[in-house]
Amino acid sequence: KHLKPVKKKGKVKIVSVFSKMLSMVHKVDYSIEDRKGKVLVNRCCINRKYEDEVLEALDRCYKMGIMVSDRVGFEHRGDRLIMSTICSSTVDGILIKHGIPVIPYCGGILELSKDRFIEIISYDGTSLDPHEIFLNRVDGENTVLSGVRKAPMVGREKLIEIVKYLNWKGIYKVGKPNNDVCGVKVEKNMFGYICFGGMNPFAILKSRGIPVEVSALHGVVEYSELIPVEELV
């Protein structure tokens, strides 16, 4: 697993989630044209007695557009339900494969009514996934899990093109070059873009007091193995 510390001269070095993300995004090979290929998912285990609540949470996030794409994994295993949602890092992977060098910057809580981040945690220099920390601090209505990436200005037009072609829910905003985006600082010659976090459905369940076991950036699956939310609910 990518969070296992790297041995260095017999000493254990702590790995940042930034490094983990960069190594995972390279496994993405989703083809927009063929609508197939490998994508990254977050995973949530929950008792299957909460199946109705799960479907409701997925439906809500889908209708609000606060999840990434419309595909989910939904498996029964004994008395448990395993949900998978596409991780926003998948979009980074698709963009990188198209030659746009995106840099993950931070994960945080976006307040929709204010179009502003109210909390952020840097990916670089941090060992935990920020969305796992913020999971019980969002309501999935006005406050949602979101992430910021930055890319060089020159890639902006192409990024917008690819995002349009991709046609997935979940990309919230592409910032202007040299401009802050939703209150997050962006350096000169860069622009920022914001994706909703794939774990918003899990956050909604957690906000209702339902026990969930969550694993951010859990692994790689084939897109074709996932089900459209509309078919599920």
Q: How far is the CB of 112 from its own copies (least distance, A)?
A: 14
Q: Is 65 or 122 the residue whose CB approaches its own copies more closely?
A: 122
* Stretch in the footprint of its own copies (CB under 8 A) among 41-49, 66-74, 114-122, 165-173: 114-122
CB 222 within 8 A of CB 37: yes
Q: Which tokens sit at 53?
A: 């609540």
Decide: 121 and 172 in contact? Cβ < 8 Å.
no
Q: Does 133 bind its own copies (CB under 8 A)?
A: yes
Smaller CB distance to its own copies: residue 94 or 148?
148
What residues from 20 to 79 belong to the interface with its own copies (CB under 8 A)?
none
Question: Which residues 6+ apart lie within 8 Å of 199 measured at CB?
Answer: 42, 44, 85, 131, 132, 135, 145, 214, 216
- Cβ of residue 123: shortest distance to its own copies, in angstroms? 8
211 in contact with its own copies (CB under 8 A)? no
Please pick, from the candidates 55, 118, 153, 220, the single residue that binds its own copies as defined by CB under 8 A.
118
Angle at 139 between CA 85 and CA 107, to 5 degrees: 60
Nearest to 135 by CA among 42, 39, 21: 42
Angle separating helix axes 17-25 and 89-97, nearest 10 degrees: 50
Using CB under 8 A as the binding rule, whether residue 1 contacts its own copies is answered as: no
> Which residues contact its own copies by CB under 8 A?
5, 8, 11-14, 16, 105-106, 108, 114, 116-128, 133, 180, 183-185
